[in-house]
Amino acid sequence: MRSTQARNCSMQLTPNHPLKNLNTFGIDCTAKWFAAFHNTDELMELLDNPEVQNQPQLVLGGGSNILFTQPFNGVVLKNSLLGIEVVGETDDHYLVKAAAGENWHQFVMHCIKNQFAGVENLALIPGCVGASPMQNIGAYGVEIKDVFHELDAVHIREKKIKTFDVTECSFGYRESVFKQREKNQWIITSVTFRLNKNPRLKTGYGAIEEELDRMNLDQITIKDVAKAVIQIRSSKLPDPAVLGNAGSFFKNPVVPIETYEKIKSHYPGAPSYPISETAVKVPAGWLIEQAGWKGLKRITHGVHDKQALVLVNLGNARGAEILQLSSDIIDDIQHKFDITLEREVNIY
């Protein structure tokens, strides 16, 4: 861990800053104080500010995995760090470093354009690069841990920079050390990915193979895989710019085999994915749909009619209303299937 030197800057905090355009749910709320940082010097100066130190802090990237249920009574720090560069190379891999404020999908498209393989299955996931290891984001058989090399992060209290390797990140299913033991202690500033020179395509998960077949290709490239993923996601998931949402609201639960077998006795076609000899993962969207929630509307908010995992803001919804809907769904799934759903979205 290396210390950083004192800075002489003049970062200004903005009071009562609107957050509606900074969260993909489009919840209309404010931050008591707000500032954006564009480099590490600005971040360090903000962390030196007593106004920042003495209040709750929230680091905001793309705002795609958050639900505001009330005004944020503290300081929102907007991560606006940008930049992508190749920082290393071996016979088989490129090490590609991206600043934490980079848009995730645009980063994936940059990798595809430059033939850096490994993240094509993760196209069109909303959010920023810095959030990707926090959540260990994943889709269609690929997770961040599969392509992760290291990340740099600033300790909020000590104002020091540390480099985390894959072991130190303690990746799990939509989990990392930054959501558990080290929660709210670090601000990720950059992530370095280990990407393949020779693509190892993963097309056997979900509907990718079927979509690629429809494309009638002679030879499949990483660009084709990304295109298939984009088409699949676009057909099922609403664009946050059109319909406020935070993507998948719930994690897919991992349950004992006995629980799954009980469900299967009532629903013979119940899907599952093996995790171990004693546990399976059951799609949360399938459970919610079977319970009758898919497409439900409550005037200002509801459940998306094409993907039951997605809760949506139908217009001027309050965050507390969406939170209550999620609680109602959790209670119902618990009652009907004896499974406790866990929210993937962060609640504030």
Which amino acids are annotated catalytic? 174, 248, 344
Tell me how crowded residue 88 is: count the other CB atoms within 10 A of its CB.
Answer: 12
The DSSP-derived string for 39-88 is SHHHHHHHHH-HHHHTS-EEEESS--SEE-SS-EEEEEEEE----EEEEE
List the one residue out of 83, 80, 122 whose CA is nearest residue 104: 122
List residues bridging with 163 in a β-sheet: 152
Are 81 and 39 in contact by the 8 Å Cβ rule? The answer is yes
Are 348 and 68 in contact by the 8 Å Cβ rule? The answer is yes
Q: How far is CA 51 from CA 12, 46, 321, in A?
A: 11, 9, 31
Q: How far is CA 160 from CA 12, 44, 151, 189, 244, in A?
A: 22, 9, 14, 12, 36
Are 57 and 156 in contact by the 8 Å Cβ rule? The answer is yes
Are 125 and 205 in contact by the 8 Å Cβ rule? The answer is no
Q: Under 8 Å CB-to-CB from 180, ≥6 apart: which residues?
A: 170
Q: Under 8 Å CB-to-CB from 200, ≥6 apart: which residues?
A: 117, 118
User: Please, what is the angle between helix 222-236 and helix 104-113, to 10°?
Assistant: 150
List the one residue out of 6, 19, 16 whose CA is nearest residue 244: 19
